[in-house]
Amino acid sequence: MGKLINGPMGTSVGKLGGVVTYQLNGQWVTRMIGVVDHWSEAQYAVQMRTALITALLKPVKDVIRIGMKYSPKPKKTWTAYTMATSSNNPGAIMGEYPKLEINYEKVILSIGDIPVPLNAKAELKDGRITFSWEADLETDGTDEDDRVMCVAYFPESFQAFNVIRNGARREEEQQIIKLPSFTEKMNIETYMCFVSDDGKRVSNNIYLGQIIWDEE
């Protein structure tokens, strides 16, 4: 939308119809707005990376709100989601356009200074994923009341089952996610981190590996 300066008959600034007016090197410039009918390969690659990261982060946005809330941000206007997008794009993407894909091992969902879960793992049995770890309460910065946050992410369907603020306490050393029934083979990417009882501190997340659901 354009803006008039110096009264109703003054110079218009910005977009107005099919033209845009702006100041360049002290001179007012007005030009037609071009229509982009072709993207370069680099631009297509940016679009594809953005689409991949959006699909990845949308199902875990509630985890990100906690995991990135207090992380240091380059700008005050950045939200937790902005921070997650920046942290994962392009760091969590591998390959060359057009064969770009998510590197799940490098996905970042939380950034913090609480010690990470020790000897953590995720195991699937009878339709349940059991997340387990060692409490490691002797390490500075740990607390028995730290809560676990767990993520079971399904790349094929862009869905996730998340345990957030109501997770098990660190001292309990186990959290279970019950999965729905599937009729076909599914890949599940698993993650874990800790959040303090007041929600103001978190650990970095850790990747626990891929689990393959296969009823056969």
Other C-beta atoms closer than 10 Å to the C-beta of 113 total: 11
What is the sign of the dihedral through the CA atoms of 194, 66, 46 and 159?
A: positive
d(CA 91, CA 180): 31
Percentage of the chain exceeding pLDDT 70: 85
Q: Between residues 76 and 13, which one has the greater pLDDT? A: 76
Q: What is the pTM of this model?
A: 0.81
Mean pLDDT of 7-30: 64
CA angle (87 as vertex; 81, 92 as ends), nearest 5: 115
What three-state secondary structure class fits 109?
A: coil
3-state secondary structure string across 4-30 = ECCCCCCCEEEEECCEEEEEECCEEEE
Tens of pLDDT, residues 23-42 = 666 677 777 666 656 778 88
Give residue limits of the domains in the chain.
Answer: 3-32, 41-213
What is the sign of the dihedral through the CA atoms of 157, 163, 164 and 170?
A: negative
Q: Residue 10: is its pLDDT beyond 90?
A: no
Tell me the pLDDT of the chain averaged across its residues.
88
DSSP run (H or E) holding 53: helix 41-57
Q: Return the C-alpha torsion angle 44, 83, 166, 214, nearest 10.
A: 30
Q: Residue 14: is its pLDDT beyond 70?
A: no
Tens of pLDDT, residues 112-139 = 999 998 999 999 999 899 999 999 999 9
Q: 41-213 has which CATH code?
A: 2.60.40.10
